[in-house]
Structure formats: C-alpha cells, structure tokens
Amino acid sequence: MNITKNTAVTLQFKVSDTTGKLLDQSQEPISYLHGGYGNTFPKIEEALEGQGVGFAATIELQPADAFGDYNEALLQTIPKTQFPPGVKVGGQLEGRAEDGNTIVFTVTKIKGPVVHLDGNHPHAGKALRFAVKVLEVRAASEEEIAHGHVHGAHGHHH
C-alpha cells in the first residue's frame, strides 16, 4: 500500500541542523494520519505522498516550513518573585498568547531578581533536515479519520 490521504503512516525519524548535528530522533516509531491533518509538516507529507514501506528520504525544511522564524516578541523577563522556589534554567511553563493560544516558555537565564523566558520553539529560526524511513502504511480507520489522528501503537491514546 502506498501513502495517500487517510493512510496511517508509521516511521522513524532523525532531525539534524544543516551542519549535520543531531537535534532529535525517534526512540520508538511514530505514526501519523496522512492527508493534511496537521500531524506533520506539509513538506514532509508532500515528500512521502505516493511512497511505500521501506522508502527513506532526507527532507530539508527552511524555518518557515518547520518551526517558524525566531520571534523576539516571545522573549520575556519576569520578576523571580513570581515563580515558585527552585526555578531553574531549562524549566518550562505554559502561558497564553494574546490570541489565547497556549505557549510553552523555557527559562533561559536567571539573573539576579529576574527570570528570562523564551516562548519560541527550540528549533525556531533553524533550517532542519528530517531523515525519515517508512516502516508501515495502512488504511486509517473511520474513527481515526474522524478524530484527525492515528490511534493505538505509536499513535494517539485517549
């Protein structure tokens, strides 16, 4: 079976920057519902369309096609007194954007009485290489299509 709209695709991936430095990789296979459901980047879906089990490729994505450009407006400083004791660099907390969407902020620096936060994705502003290998392709169930994601092993669990 080949990858088309409404197929459940299981793959392994590695993400590196353009110099080849490994940034992330799947420890276990992951599955996604193919066909514009927002479960992976559109350029990755485009590269996988029509392919089958065993297909492997490296797809280069510019920031706009991956995690977006780095946004200076997502940098904030907040008084340390507004944090619970034990706040550490690398810690994360959720906040709300002006549009109501959830943003995950990472503590990047603590300097005196001020905590510096960054709401950008860690890979924002970076061109990335995704090395993918297709392990399985199957027809998605009606329930998966209705929910917009794959269920079960390597997929979403309710």
**Which tens digits make up the pLDDT trace of 49-93?**
999 999 999 999 999 999 999 999 999 999 988 887 888 999 888
| Dihedral angle of Cα 36, 16, 60, 35, to the nearest 10 degrees | -10
Q: Which tokens belong to 83?
A: 């944090």
Output the pLDDT for position 155.
55
Q: Which amino acid is at 18?
A: T
pLDDT-wise least confident of 7-21, 82-96, 139-153: 82-96
Mean pLDDT, rounded, of the chain: 91
Output the pLDDT for position 43.
96
Neighbour order of strands in the sheet with 92-96: 75-79, 114-118, 102-111, 92-96
Residue 18: Cβ-neighbour burial (10 angstroms; 0-12, 13-18, 19+): exposed
Question: What's the distance, Cα to Cα, between the start and end of the chain in Å?
Answer: 27
Output the pLDDT for position 5.
97
Q: How many helices (H) and strands (E) does the chain have?
A: 2, 9
- Indicate whether 151 pLDDT > 80: yes
Residue burial 125-134, b: 16+ Cβ < 10 Å; e: rest: ebebbbebbb
Output the pLDDT for position 153.
65
Q: Whole-prediction pTM value?
A: 0.79
Q: What is the mean pLDDT of residues 122-131?
A: 95
Give the model's confidence band at 158: pLDDT under 50 very low, under 70 low, under 90 confident, else very high.
very low
Output the pLDDT for position 154.
56
Residue 61: Cβ-neighbour burial (10 angstroms; 0-12, 13-18, 19+): buried
Per-residue pLDDT tens for 14-58? 999 999 999 999 899 999 999 999 999 999 999 999 999 999 999
